Structure 1
Amino acid sequence: MTGDKAARNPHEFTGRRWYFPSALMHELAPDTARTGSRPRRTARDWLVDFSCFLLAVGVGLLGADALSTNDRVPEAVAAADQVFGALSCAAVWLRRRWPLGLAAVMVPVGFVSETSGGVVVISLFTLAVHRPFRYVLWVGGAQLVLVPVYFWWRPDPDLPYLASILLFVVLEVAVIGWGMFVRSKRQLVLSLRDRARRAETEARLRADTAQRLAREAIAREMHDVLAHRLTLLSVHAGALEFRPDAPRAEIARAAGVIRESAHEALQDLREIIGVLRAGEPDDAGRPQPTLAALGTLAAESRQAGMKVTLENRVTAPEHVPASVGRTAYRIAQEGLTNARKHAPGTEVTVTVTGGPGEDLTVIVRNPAPEGDVPPVPGAGQGLIGLTERASLAGGTLKHGPAPDGGFEVRARLPRG
């Protein structure tokens, strides 16, 4: 793998290459991007950089104090050493932008300047955090090669020659190891953060897909109902056309049917407006359920072994539009299905209330199941579809845990 390719593809797993997004690579290697796109320092970055600067200055002052007490170092060399140390301390503020350049420059500077020792350590740590190990290996190896020469040129008055070399090698290895640990931890955090963002995006896409499929299902269902209304209207209108001499009562009855069918067709048409419909209906001719079919639904659930209590307290149910009754039926049906899957053996209560001039309220509630329930596959797409169906009907639907630990689905539907 070449250098450029390795920088773009820092991880390989089971033969597949994982490509870090540019934002993640930017944070790990900030100087690879253009200057105009570099993120600004955060408060934490300023605090860390200022702490590194103070550390470099403190080490430089200790080095300057050691030079002042060392009679074997000429004053000119000591003054030059301190100048290099001051410039190196100022260069600490460039460590995020040019970690490799700063670390490479500090190799010769640290060799000739004792007051730059703190900056040498900081630059090596920064390089290990922001660059792959091969760069750290080259720079760290160059420093290790110069260590014996440095302590031969400037021996430590308090430590033997070999002890000084060993101490510096241990310090450099520790700094490199710490930097690589920080880098790997950041890579892990950024990778998990990126996975979380991708999971949220995929969840939104799945929800959008579920809503689209719900719209298509509603469109197919409305197509069936609307076709039935219009066909009925056409039949009665045709009868009036071909039987102009029919009795007055029969003509009045046919006209009433035409008016009622046209009114209901208009209501159905209002629901289908704005609904995206794709494909041809695959269930043409299927009878559509209404509010009156709730009793049959409850009976079928009891036959399947469920404990169902139906409380239908709707007054004047004949005045409930068929589309609203159909939506209430679907909500009760989905609620019973979910209760059968996730809370088997519990008693499910289906309550439907509403009078003339009031909204229709549908509540499906079940207590918490006793004991552990085996997990059932499902992603909540049915509830998403119900929410979309209720919204298209002009109402609302809410679902979630009940205060007693059970689960509740509550819908409000306008009666028209």
Structure 2
Amino acid sequence: MKTKQHGAVVGLIAAGALLLTACGSDNNTGPGGSTSGATASGVAVECGGKTKLNAEGSSAQKNAIDTFIQAYKAKCSGADLAYNPSGSGAGVKNFNAGQVDFGGSDSALSKDKGEVEAAAKRCATNPAWHLPLVFGPVAIGYKLDGVKDLVLDGDVTAKIFNGTVKKWNDPAIKALNSGATLPDKDIKVVYRSDESGTTDNFQKYLKIASKGSWTQGDGKQFKGGVGEGKEKSAGVAQATGSVDGAITYVELSFAQDNQLSLAKIDAGQGPVELTNETVGKAIDGAKIKGEGNDLVLDLDSIYGTTAAGSYPLLLATYEIVCSKGYDADTAKAVKAFLTVAATDGQAGLADAGYAPLPKAFQDKLLTAIKAIA
């Protein structure tokens, strides 16, 4: 995800503005106080408690957290949060060690690694909950002269990124793009050379959506065995934008910054363009495999969706919090921050390249946040 705001996502901005509108600081109180004020969407926020929260973790959500912080400070006078984008591993480690009030992670706590048990110990023998608060669409960005309207599916995308499909006029691509003039040109794959949550999610998508064509596995290192590696999202987007015939996977705002064309994805119900609405449909259709208010996502339900109008290629990040076990001041502030983040804070997300939460999913999060004790 990007660490600076991007203003060109006009369609997403409009959709985000329709979903939620930022509000001012009505009914605010000072540190330690409380309020019966509400967010722009009418959700009650009780400010107060700990005046400065600390959180750490996923760099993918850094720009979203910055947006949330501004909304939190506007709603709760004197309140603040410091976020260190040190990476998911450090976020989990330091949350479990009690050094931060909540952690940000691209993936759920691992029982096999002892993270679930360590989190429960940190939370005074209470389970930690996963709150998927930030979703970012991942684009399949490409540069191909004369081709601005390209359709791909999971199978063909997997074959491109593992080197099975090598030419832009391959019959497999032609079959998805009837009537298009595709050049007899080599496909030049560009991938992340550094460890990346985006790579991990992209490969998980390929594993599910390709229905057997992607056998290389997942993980934060690209395993396709083909193409040219570049560091960071900016690196892959710039490299793709500079070479005709290139293709990559990258967060939306970077693709737009480099004027990449964006492939539509056909999951069996026709081509789907990447928009706020189509991403929202995918989020709405996501299944929860966690219990109760522990909202661990079943990523297969997103990546493998065949629902009409759903764009399935997303990156989700969690806020990992104690269900119980905070002191009273910390619990109050954590709940206030998360409530504002899930409501007023959503208004600025589209401008930063993220997807605002659809209403039904927002309601699930608010129910969980309210239950934190």
Q: Please, what TM-score do these two structures have when normalized by structure 1? A: 0.17
**Quick check: which one's helix share is greater?**
1
Q: Which one has a bigger Cα radius of gyration?
A: 1
Q: Please, what TM-score do these two structures have when normalized by structure 2? A: 0.19
Higher relative contact order (CA 8 A, sep 6+): 2
